[in-house]
Amino acid sequence: MEVSGASSVFLLESEDAEHLVITASVGSPLEPVRLDLAEPSASVVAYRSGAPLYIADVEGDARVSRRLRGLTGARSLLAQPFSHGGRVRGVVVVSWLEPHPESAAESVSTLALLAEEFGSALERMDLNAALEHRATTDPLTGMANRRVWREELPRMMTDPGPLCVALLDLDYFKTYNDTHGHLAGDTVLASLGRSWLSMLRPQDLLVRWGGEEFALALPDCPVDCALDVLERLRAQVPDGQAASAGLACWDGVETIEALMSRADAALYEAKRTGRNRSVTSVGGPEGVDRGEPAVAR
């Protein structure tokens, strides 16, 4: 789709409640231009009104910012807002190097269609993002799910540096559910998800493994670092509940299945030896190093 004779096209999107920012351009270099929504520029007027604004000759028109005029060399300008989800999301700005005829109805019509396409594309992007979020996120805890684990753990194994994984399980959670009800149990899990996720680094991966069991991957984190993380997490289990954890650090050659098997064996050992503790697998599938209960550390 072309706008006849146009020298440049800019896409401005709402960055926040106070600014528009250029996110794409054709015909002129992309510059980090931010427009304050308090200023009466053509783009802002179109954005706020939700209606197109055409300026046949920008010379002396205070609604055209000097910076945008300098970037484009514009003499004529058309700002067309585009909408999505019932609200204006941004503006498409087209400029011409020569004064454009006032009867630019064809350009206005073409740009309106282009803006409609932008709005539809945003709707598709938002829908795809929502579907992806639903497909990769546990709705109760906000943690990632096993699909993300299957995709991300192999990638983590290609990065340099230590990699530790852990399995965590809430102790006697079935008894808690039986005593307080499943709604109370769900409240504990939701609170735990918010708390634990807030304590981790962006590169860490925490997933709901199933029920009251969770898996944690800690890239670039040696065993002492990983144990510290586990103890901090276990200390934040809500409503007086406790958790056991099994930790295994990748030896650089074993399969994911072998690594997870060691973490699972360490978790089993933590439960067998009294629960409410972290146990580290060392030296291979059979070796475990008993940690201390959180209350003693």
H-helix segments, the chain: 42-49, 66-72, 105-136, 146-156, 173-180, 182-199, 223-234, 256-272
Q: 3 to each of 73, 105, 117, how far by Cα in Å?
A: 17, 11, 14
| SS3 of residue 13 by DSSP | strand
CA angle 228, 232, 236 (to 5 degrees): 165
CB burial string 76-106: b at 16+ within 10 A, e below: bbbbbbbbbeeebbbbbbbbbeeebeeebee
Of 291, 55, 20, which is closest to residue 166 (Cα–Cα)? 291
Q: How far is CA 125 from the centre of its chain?
A: 14
Active site residue 212: yes
Spot the catalytic one: 13, 212, 231, 257. 212
Dist. CA 254–CA 284, nearest whole Å:
10
DSSP annotation of 100: P
Measured from the Cβ of residue 22, the count of other Cβ atoms closer than 10 Å reads 22
Task: Indicate which residues carry an active-site annotation.
Answer: 212
